[in-house]
Amino acid sequence: MYAVDDRYKDTSHHSGQIKITVRHIKDPEKIEIIVEDNGIGIDEDRYAAFCTVDTDFKRAKGGKGVGRLFWLDAFSSIVIESYYMEGDTSHRRCLSFELKNKDQITDAIIDQKFRTLSGIGTSIRFKGIRIEEYSKYFPKRQDTFLRYFGAHFISEFLTGSCPEITVDIDGKLSRYPEQISSLVVGNPMKTGEFELDDFGKLEIVGFTCDKAASTGLEGSHQLHLLAHGRTVETRKIDNLLGVESLTRDDKDDLVFHGCLSGAYLDSRVNEGRTAFNLPESILKEITRKCVDEIKIKLIPDQVKAYKGRRKERFEDFVKSYPIYGFDSTDAQLDRLPIHAKTPEDFASGLVKYQIRNDEDRQRRIELVIDALDRAEDIPENFTKSIIEAAEGIQNSERLALAQHVVRRKLVLEILEKLLLRLRRQEGKSDNFQLEKTLHSLFVPMNVRGDDPTECESRSHDLWMIDERLAFTRAFSSDKRLDQILKSDASDDRPDVVIWDFAVGMGVIDPWAGEDAVDISKPLSKVLIIEFKRPMRKSYPKAEDQIERQIVKYLSQLKGNELESFGRKRIRIAQDCIFHCFVVADIVGDLEEQLSSWETTANGEGRIRRLGGNYQGTIEVIQWQDLVNDAWQRNASTLFAAGLKRGIIK
């Protein structure tokens, strides 16, 4: 490139030609690379500089005078053929360049001219990679080779200011700068010179490109750090820029490429122009400050639009996860990195602030309590402290309640949609799968709630049936009776059996923790739940009789012993009261089966007292009544959280 510039000056990008031919790219021992140009050639002055180690001949352009020493280290054979002008006469120079103790540069006899570019110019032929340290890392695929090549000269290729370069790799041609400059959309954007403390005057030329310009690079948006016009290092700036993609000239899904240059970088590049002599912390600081300049000076409208979309996403996030709404939207977004734009990003970025906020509130409350305990005089600002502590508790309670209610609202909406789907799918083949889904929505199937190894069994939504079941742990779901009873060979599977449901009825001590069930006393209350498919109309068999099915379960439970997960046995009292719920639609055979039962208070369900050997009731709840009751029980908290029942169509 320098040779072409020296010959053609300002017209080098029109008149200059460079050709790179690569043969046997996959075989380091046989590889051959020929680099040709129609530049000024190796005249006497340039030959003298070539023969001088550490020459400053190209110092003004950033050349360190050591590039050819890397050639010697890397390649087994190097042959140079050059045509140049002395006055009006054309001359030819051929030489070999070899790694040895003396006479590294010798005249070469080239029987057959290997240049393909005619006239004045130079060709250099490299053959065979000399040592493993180079061959191991040399790219062995065309796309990898071109990726490194394109990145090193990205600034020239983006601006289109370099000569025409043809790269021929085993017969496959690529042309530059067309390969890169054709991906640029619109004109370059320039910051002009700006000054950063400690780094002097810098300048950025920005390009909006098709995303193919970032192929092979890590990330989408890139900042290329240049020294003397060559790319030394490329840095992904996606997380600093924040913007997912750019839009320009009616094209979207574009990426940003910026070329950063300045005297500070020129003076701090290594001899091979492969890295800067700067610590990583300094490079990160330069990159961060330069991206700030890009956002302000080159793409302010795109950044503004991105921040607007990001704010909307965050507000939607807080609606679903209200506990993160402990400060204003703008304050919360300022705490987050600019690239945070998903619920996971928001949550992970704010959780530490949430913890700090909770700890600060807790500390202030403890100070108030401590002041009340002391016999000292109450300070003048004590009233204010009390009010602030109360407000902190109320705010925390409001956020926690909102989080709780949002989840319940979603669960109820899923239940309604699932019921609607089941009714529409009546008689279809996927009904069985949907029935299992319906059961699992209330409580996971084939689990025991008292099994500490089954994490999923800890999570359920039995509150939809009865609020007192919200925190129950001692239950079995879709388990065979012979798996939960001490002495029973039955393979019957009640949908749900619960034995610690009635916290408010004195069955357990609510303050007793995980082992709340008092196993020294027989269980006096047990709850059984059966789910029947919505809109099921046929109950033709004797065992399909609701009362018969329930009584069969009771006969096996009464007087038996539940075997808890820890092998502890819990006796079921002879006079145990059984609360049995059947959730079903009262249609078809079931309507006739329950015709003699009493109606429930709302006139829709059915209820019957157990008689004979059993105490308790069997209550049949219609599916829609169960949903409506659950909505109604949560109405006040929904209202307090600013939510309302969804409309299911």
Q: pLDDT-based confidence at 181, cuts 50/70/90?
A: confident
Place of tokens 């639009």: 305
> What are the counts of helices (DSSP H) followed by strands (DSSP E) for the chain?
21, 24
Q: 626 by DSSP, 3-state: which?
A: helix
Instruction: Give percent helix, percent strand, percent coil of the chain, each to the nearest 5.
Output: 40, 25, 35
Statement: residue 507 has pLDDT above 50? no
Statement: residue 508 has pLDDT above 60? no
pLDDT, greater one: 103 or 261: 261
Cα gap 212→281, rounded to integer Å: 30
By the 8 A CB rule, do 631 and 645 touch?
Answer: yes
Give CB contacts under 8 A, 24+ apart, made by 464-471: 464/411, 464/412, 464/415, 464/626, 464/627, 464/630, 465/529, 465/581, 465/583, 465/621, 465/626, 466/501, 467/633, 468/501, 468/502, 468/503, 468/504, 468/505, 469/498, 469/501, 469/527, 471/503
Q: What is the pLDDT of residue 466?
A: 86
Residue 373 in tokens: 């305990």
- Domain 183-298 - what CATH class? alpha beta
Exposure of 317 by Cβ count < 10 A (0-12 exposed, 13-18 middle, 19+ buried)? Answer: buried
Instruction: Give, for 176, the enclosing helix (H) or strand (E).
Output: strand 172-176
**Burial 28-59, CB ≥16 within 10 A → b, else e:** beebbbbbbbbbbbbbeebbeebeeeebeebe
Q: What is the pLDDT of residue 154?
A: 82
Q: pLDDT-based confidence at 54, cuts 50/70/90?
A: low
Statement: residue 529 has pLDDT above 70? yes
Q: pLDDT-based confidence at 407, cuts 50/70/90?
A: confident
Q: pLDDT-based confidence at 62, cuts 50/70/90?
A: very low
Instruction: Give, for 175, the enclosing helix (H) or strand (E).
Output: strand 172-176
| Residues contacting 117, CB < 8 A, separation 6+ | 17, 19, 36, 37, 38, 123
Rg (CA), the chain: 40
Closest to 76 measured CA to CA, from 28, 39, 122? 28
Q: What is the pLDDT of residue 511?
A: 41
pLDDT, greater one: 515 or 603: 603
By the 8 A CB rule, do 199 and 249 touch?
Answer: no
Q: pLDDT-based confidence at 408, cuts 50/70/90?
A: confident
Q: What is the pLDDT of residue 647?
A: 54
Amino acid at 204: I
pTM of the predicted model as reported, rounded to 2 decimal places: 0.56
> Percent of the chain at pLDDT above 90?
40
pLDDT tens-digit map of 368-380: 677 666 656 666 6
pLDDT tens-digit map of 567-587: 678 888 888 999 999 999 999
Q: What is the pLDDT of residue 111?
A: 59
pLDDT tens-digit map of 313-322: 999 988 877 7
Residue 339 in tokens: 């690239």
Q: What is the pLDDT of residue 203?
A: 96
pLDDT, greater one: 549 or 360: 549
Secondary structure of 21-47 in the HEC alphabet?
Answer: EEECCCCCCCCEEEEEECCCCCCHHHH
Statement: residue 516 has pLDDT above 70? no
Detail the DSSP E strand segments found in 431-568: 447-448, 475-477, 496-498, 523-531, 561-563
Statement: residue 609 has pLDDT above 50? yes
Low-confidence winner among 213-222, 432-441, 549-558 (lowest mean pLDDT)? 432-441
Closest to 402 measured CA to CA, from 636, 641, 197, 171? 641
Helix ranges (DSSP H) in 267-381 = 280-297, 300-320, 329-335, 343-373
| Residues contacting 266, CB < 8 A, separation 6+ | 62, 227, 228
Instruction: Give, for 17, the enclosing helix (H) or strand (E).
Output: strand 17-23
Closest to 28 measured CA to CA, from 168, 139, 149, 173? 139
Which CATH code, of 1.20.120, 3.30.565, 3.30.410, 3.90.1310, is assigned to 2-138? 3.30.565
Amino acid at 517: V
Q: What is the pLDDT of residue 179?
A: 87
pLDDT tens-digit map of 325-338: 878 899 999 999 99
By the 8 A CB rule, do 430 and 418 touch?
Answer: no
